[in-house]
Amino acid sequence: MSEVELFHEWGSVQSFKVRMCLAELGLPWISHRIDLSRFDNLATAYLAVNPKGLVPALRWNGEVFVESSDINELLVDIAGGGQLPLAVEERARARVWTRFEDEVVHPAVRPPTFNLILKARVAKIAAVEFGELIARHPLPARREAYVAAANAAFDRTAVINSIRIFRDVLAKMERALAATDWLAADRFSLADVAMAAFIDRLDRLAMPVLFSPFPKASGWAARIRSRPSFAAAQGPDSARPDPLVDTGLVKALLAEAFGHTATMEMESL
């Protein structure tokens, strides 16, 4: 079998999904780290791999595949089914979750990640160098968002909006987990892989309190965190060098998101 090569960043949510899938399937892979803090995703060599300048990208049999959810389905096929395939209707349900992660969860994760983790990183790059680097971004929307975010003050409104979405996401998971042991079925699936990346990011953002009104989602998250594939997807600590977020600030944002009686309100959901 041809070797699987993954172009990825350790601190990227969508790369996490693919690394966890690889670990679940027990597929060996070759790692090409694309250091997003140095904007290696915009280097000519990487744009030749993925002209969109995004990670992850997977090279297999000389062909490049992008979009983390599509990559994970391909990996299941490459592994010859592995442990992840489910009954037809369960597979359809799993796709609803992976699309939800791509279209709702990942976009919601970006403002807190940028404001609480990456802003400090961007601030370290000299303005001229940053301008030159970001001008290479092939996606105009991303380029403009980076420039705006780098120059703007901390975007409290966007972060609070995301925190409210996170709570709704956990409420949705709670409802699903009342029906099945895992998100799409009574068996672990790509749905759980996709949402595991969200759990890892909530942990990195120091927002465990969001779980407190949701016992089933909390139990699911504990099961997810204890899977060897979760640790494998996280990679070594040294690979994720961003400083931990300011927990005092996160607490204040959580209180603002839910009112000053945050815990009470969340428990009544």
Q: How far is the CB of 167 from ligand GSH (least distance, A)?
A: 22
CA distance 44 to 195: 32
Q: How far is the CB of 84 from ligand GSH (least distance, A)?
A: 18
Q: How far is the CB of 106 from ligand GSH (least distance, A)?
A: 6
102 binds ligand GSH (CB under 6 A): yes
142 binds ligand GSH (CB under 6 A): yes
234 binds ligand GSH (CB under 6 A): no
CA distance 6 to 29: 7
User: How many Å from the N-terminal Cα to the C-terminal Cα in the chain?
Assistant: 50
Q: What is the SS3 string spanning 229-257?
A: HHHHHHCCHHHCCCCCCCHHHHHHHHHHH
* Beta carbon nearer to ligand GSH, 60 or 214: 60
Residue for token digits 């297999």? 60
35 binds ligand GSH (CB under 6 A): no
Query: Contacts with ligand GSH: how many residues (CB under 6 A)?
Result: 15
36 binds ligand GSH (CB under 6 A): yes
Paired sense of beta strands 4-8 and 57-60, if any: antiparallel
* Beta carbon nearer to ligand GSH, 137 or 172: 137
- 100-118: burial string, b at 16+ Cβ within 10 Å, e else: bbbeebbebbbbbbbbbbb
Question: 46-85: which residues touch ligand GSH (CB under 6 A)?
Answer: 53-56, 66-68
Member of 4, 20, 23, 41 binding ligand GSH (CB under 6 A):
41
* Beta carbon nearer to ligand GSH, 11 or 213: 11
* Beta carbon nearer to ligand GSH, 66 or 122: 66
Number of neighbours of residue 200 by Cβ within 10 angstroms: 22
CA distance 195 to 97: 8
- What is the binding site for ligand GSH (CB under 6 A)? 12-14, 36, 41, 53-56, 66-68, 102, 137, 142
